[in-house]
Structure 1
Amino acid sequence: MTASGEHEMPESERPDGAVSCGGLDLGELAREARARMASFTRSQASTGAELFLSASRRLSLEYEVGTGRFSLSRGESVSAAARVWWEEGSGFAALSVGGADDLGRVLSEAWERGRTGARSPLPAVPASSEPPRSLPVLSTARARELAEHLTRTVIPPGVVVQAAVLTCSASGSVLVRGEGVVQGHVSARQEAVVRCETSRGAIVDGVAAPLGEPWDLEPLRARIAQAVDALEGPAEAADPGLPLVLRPAVAAPLVAALAWMLRGDVAVATPALARAVGKKLFPSVLSVEDDPLHPLGASRRSVDDEGAPARPLRLVDEGRFLGFLHSAATAALLGVSPNGRGLRSEGASPTPSALGLFVVPRGDALPEHYTELVARVETFTTMPRPGVVSLMAGGWEVRRGQRVRRLAPVELRLPVLETLRALRGVGADLAFFPTADGCGTPTLILPPLLGG
């Protein structure tokens, strides 16, 4: 689809088809799921059963800034996952849904697999809520307006944009438990990622917000302008003896890697890390939270995909390590309580995931002299091996608060835990990044690390 092309509005975008997704009426599908679950629990002697329906819409628009042309893709899908528990085992099955009969079929498949499957924990019974009848409409015209406004606002004059991709998504879920409980959830977001060319490599940054909420583009505009300035013009080698100041765009991959390490499934596979809970693992300047309702975050939800409340979590409190992100399964394996972080991807059981993880801002003072890294140069990988972040970043040498010379990009290989154990300070400029799994961070102040 180009900017000048005409297209027919999809059925789900018409007023008379607003409740449909993937050709299915969501309200009717939710009612059918309750009926199928009731029939299943009457006929099968299970200790528990659940049926999870997920409907999603996605619109992706790529904008060619130089020509003003657009290419567009959109899709809709409905899937179902079932879990059945026996005293001695449990079974799981998932499939795409084309009609109501698939709901009974996925329950039957989970039952059959439960004959040989290992026992998994039965999640607590969730609170009931109204299941969704429809998903928000994703407007192509609105997406085009947003893409044009974004690039006009945040791209400095003369900068070549290699790619500008705007993605709008909406999803709804219905969780039906054998106890007769039905819980619904709807979420929608819009995000944009831009890739800009500089003489020392490409920079990638973006912005995200719940669908319908305005973007705050000024922080993104300022970050791109600073990154371009740092990567264009004469540059010198960095002084390895100076402390490092990682501005948020450079610190974000480090925090995203920390979020991965704080997942309960990682803790299960890493006994030494699990034993560190309760210990003073980091300096007092570091606190980490996961807040699914943070006003700067793009994902807003009050329950996870297992129906458990998703409340704000303090994972690190002034250096003391408090715990992990847990689904019901990982919590049971470590003998702790679930904390509402069990999320599902299509065709898989719930796994623990962050919903809005960030380093808590402080506003600590900067050193007198330091290396300031403001621009992350795009690389193919940020974590070549688990627990180690690799990145290229450019910036400035700063003396007494003044940038005195531009620095050629330096390569950093940062072991996540060891690097954060050396943390000296945390800034006040918190920003969240769709390019870093939605994690947020302020400026991080570190000791000299460029000398190896």
Structure 2
Amino acid sequence: MSTTTAGTTLGLDAHALSEQLSGLAQGLGIERWDLGAACSTDTSVQVDRGEAKQLKGAQRSAITVRVWNGDGLVGITSTSDLSPAGLARALSGARDASAYGNADDIPAFSPLATAPLEPLDQPLVEPRGILELLDTLREAERDLLGRHAAITTVPYNGLAQRSSERLYLNSAGACREQKLTTASLYLYARGEEEGRKPRSSGAVRLAYGLQQLDVAGCIAEAAERTIAHLDYAPIQTGHYTCIFSPEAFLDLIGAFSSLFNARAVLDGVSLSNRDALGSTLAVPFLSIHDNGLHPGNVGASNFDGEGTPVRRLALVEGGVLRHFLHSEATARAFGVEPTGHAGLGAKVSVGPHWFEVGPSAGSSGGASGLDRHTADGVVWIDSLSALHAGVKASQGSFSLPFDGWLIRNGEARSIEAATVAGDIRAVLKGILGFEGEAKLTPDGLCPHVWVEGLSVTGDA
């Protein structure tokens, strides 16, 4: 068991820090600068059969400072020291580094860095003591172990809480600040019966604080999923209609998010090109939005790494590719406004926040009456694995191990071991329809998605 002691968040004052930076920059002869900072205090626990496995606490801070020199070139440096001396060193280091800036890739301030922000309803919850976290997780593990005789361990588990602060400041007057508290719980159970292979599954819950966490729901979902995989059988290799759980489909969309990423388009590592907007990407009833501001997105921020406001953005509407995700630089290259998806770093990155997937407004939503509980000969994919290795995003192909069930005459039986393979473009154009209401998950909002004609390789 390892134990460290948590500190407190730094209590940053954005306006005071901005004034301090302005004075320091003026003294160093720097006219143009910006700063992005993220600081957090984290506390987490893990248990193993009732015993404390790990108690951790940490205070983290990451500060990025950029300086533009007289020739317009940019230098960048990182620090964790927000003292006047530390900030002066960071400004001086970035100024010196600007002499070696890339003249072919010069970022600028976001034109929206001072635009009004959408307010977020995010309660700040007082963190609880680490021993209370430990007791809560012990009880959750004990409850989960008691759900079925075959559940003998919960090898992967964790309960954590975080208090965090984010800042974006620049010499043109931008002053963004956010404070946030979050808590998370994951339980991944292992079920084992004599003469049978071990089976595992789990669940995750997020909230603004420990008191709001749906601990009972997490236990129930982890138990239900694990028990449902105990009775397994091999599956014959072939082509099947597949039903993706909301979590699995969101994982797949996330793995191919370069389709919508303007940085990936400009770097030539996306399936999309500069002229792809307006082209048909999917079935005419599919809608995909990136909506970092959704109330269900615990941990949401209303501004990105460049201070640009976050907003709901239609990526696919009516099956047509409508928008790309942009930073300031990619937006400038495309002649549009930044969309609030930038990450500040040595090279400004672009990435999605939180997906909403479902039928387009006014559409039929595809085939009606889809029900996996009465289906026959279909594969229900519960979760995908090895996305880091099994996805070739720039080619569109994937081959991924999965946990799921083969459904025969409405009866679901767990699949012993199998992989699903295909091409994301064929998946998006092979969607048959949606089943049920959209489910809120940590990564987005999505219903069950039916897709025809995917290749499943099994052991039978």
Q: TM-score range by the shorter chain?
A: 0.7 to 0.9
State the Cα deviation string for residues 36-62 of structure 1 (Å, max 9, x = none).
32341465364x311223221122211
Decide which structure has greater strand share. 2
Aligned-residue RMSD, C-alpha:
3.4
What is the DSSP-based 3-state SS (H/G/I as helix, E as strand, rest coil) of the residue aligned with 1:243?
A: strand
Distance 1:150 1:341 in 2: 36
User: 1:196 is matched by which residue type in structure 2?
Assistant: A
User: 2:231 is matched by which residue type in structure 1?
Assistant: G
State the Cα deviation string for residues 39-97 of structure 1 (Å, max 9, x = none).
41465364x31122322112221122x23424111111233211122453222111221
User: 1:318 is matched by which residue type in structure 2?
Assistant: G
Aligned residue number for residue 78 of structure 1: 61
Distance 1:164 1:308 in 2: 36
What is the DSSP-based 3-state SS (H/G/I as helix, E as strand, rest coil) of the residue aligned with 1:26?
A: coil
The change in CA–CA distance for 1:230 and 1:252 in structure 2 (over 3 A counts) is: farther
The change in CA–CA distance for 1:310 and 1:145 in structure 2 (over 3 A counts) is: farther
CA positional deviation for 1:254 = 0.8
Tell me if the contact between 1:285 and 1:426 (Cα under 8 Å) persists in the aligned partners. Answer: no
Residues 203-242 of structure 1 aligned to structure 2 (within 5 Å): 203-211=201-209, 214-216=212-214, 220-221=218-219, 223-238=221-236, 240-242=238-240
Tell me if the contact between 1:248 and 1:442 (Cα under 8 Å) persists in the aligned partners. Answer: yes
Aligned residue number for residue 340 of structure 1: 340
Aligned residue number for residue 398 of structure 1: 407
Tell me if the contact between 1:255 and 1:440 (Cα under 8 Å) persists in the aligned partners. Answer: no
Verify: 1:95 aligned to 2:79, yes or no: yes
CA positional deviation for 1:236 = 4.2
State the Cα deviation string for residues 156-200 of structure 1 (Å, max 9, x = none).
323131111123222212222113442211222222222222435
User: 1:84 is matched by which residue type in structure 2?
Assistant: V
Tell me if the contact between 1:431 and 1:441 (Cα under 8 Å) persists in the aligned partners. Answer: yes
Aligned residue number for residue 157 of structure 1: 148
Distance 1:405 1:212 in 2: 36
Aligned residue number for residue 424 of structure 1: 432
What is the DSSP-based 3-state SS (H/G/I as helix, E as strand, rest coil) of the residue aligned with 2:100?
A: coil
Of 313-322 and 408-417, deviating more is: 408-417
Tell me if the contact between 1:282 and 1:420 (Cα under 8 Å) persists in the aligned partners. Answer: yes
Aligned residue number for residue 269 of structure 1: 267
Tell me if the contact between 2:391 and 2:399 (Cα under 8 Å) persists in the aligned partners. Answer: yes
The change in CA–CA distance for 1:11 and 1:253 in structure 2 (over 3 A counts) is: closer
Tell me if the contact between 2:331 and 2:338 (Cα under 8 Å) persists in the aligned partners. Answer: yes
Any unmatched runs of 5+ in structure 1?
13-19
Tell me if the contact between 2:202 and 2:226 (Cα under 8 Å) persists in the aligned partners. Answer: no
Distance 2:294 2:144 in 1: 24
What is the DSSP-based 3-state SS (H/G/I as helix, E as strand, rest coil) of the residue aligned with 1:442?
A: strand
Aligned residue number for residue 36 of structure 1: 21
Instruction: Give the number of equivalent residue pairs.
Output: 426
State the Cα deviation string for residues 237-258 of structure 1 (Å, max 9, x = none).
2573541112224334212213
Distance 1:128 1:397 in 2: 50
State the Cα deviation string for residues 393-434 of structure 1 (Å, max 9, x = none).
34434355x216554332112332332222111233433545
Distance 1:212 1:372 in 2: 36
Q: Identity, % of aligned pairs?
A: 19
CA positional deviation for 1:219 = 6.0
The change in CA–CA distance for 1:123 and 1:69 in structure 2 (over 3 A counts) is: same
CA positional deviation for 1:154 = 5.8
Distance 1:219 1:10 in 2: 28
TM-score, normalising length from structure 2? 0.80
Aligned equivalent of 1:409, options 390, 404, 417: 417
Aligned equivalent of 1:197, options 190, 200, 214: 190
Aligned equivalent of 2:369, options 334, 350, 365: 365
Verify: 1:444 aligned to 2:419, yes or no: no
CA positional deviation for 1:447 = 0.6
TM-score, normalising length from structure 1? 0.81
State the Cα deviation string for residues 108-153 of structure 1 (Å, max 9, x = none).
11112222313222222425899xxx99646313422442454456
What is the DSSP-based 3-state SS (H/G/I as helix, E as strand, rest coil) of the residue aligned with 1:184?
A: strand
Aligned equivalent of 1:179, options 172, 177, 183: 172
Aligned equivalent of 1:140, options 118, 127, 130: 130
User: 2:416 is matched by which residue type in structure 1?
Assistant: A
Verify: 1:291 aligned to 2:291, yes or no: yes
User: 2:90 is matched by which residue type in structure 1?
Assistant: V
Tell me if the contact between 2:33 and 2:171 (Cα under 8 Å) persists in the aligned partners. Answer: yes
Aligned residue number for residue 161 of structure 2: 168
CA positional deviation for 1:340 = 1.0
Distance 2:251 2:219 in 1: 20
Tell me if the contact between 1:231 and 1:375 (Cα under 8 Å) persists in the aligned partners. Answer: no
Residues 326-337 of structure 1 aligned to structure 2 (within 5 Å): 326-337=326-337
Tell me if the contact between 1:299 and 1:355 (Cα under 8 Å) persists in the aligned partners. Answer: no
The change in CA–CA distance for 1:431 and 1:148 in structure 2 (over 3 A counts) is: farther
User: 1:189 is matched by which residue type in structure 2?
Assistant: T
The change in CA–CA distance for 1:147 and 1:331 in structure 2 (over 3 A counts) is: farther
CA positional deviation for 1:354 = 1.8
Distance 2:263 2:4 in 1: 45
Aligned residue number for residue 107 of structure 1: 91
The change in CA–CA distance for 1:418 and 1:31 in structure 2 (over 3 A counts) is: same
The change in CA–CA distance for 1:250 and 1:355 in structure 2 (over 3 A counts) is: closer
Distance 2:199 2:357 in 1: 28
CA positional deviation for 1:317 = 0.8
The change in CA–CA distance for 1:59 and 1:355 in structure 2 (over 3 A counts) is: same
Tell me if the contact between 2:5 and 2:57 (Cα under 8 Å) persists in the aligned partners. Answer: no
Distance 1:45 1:228 in 2: 59
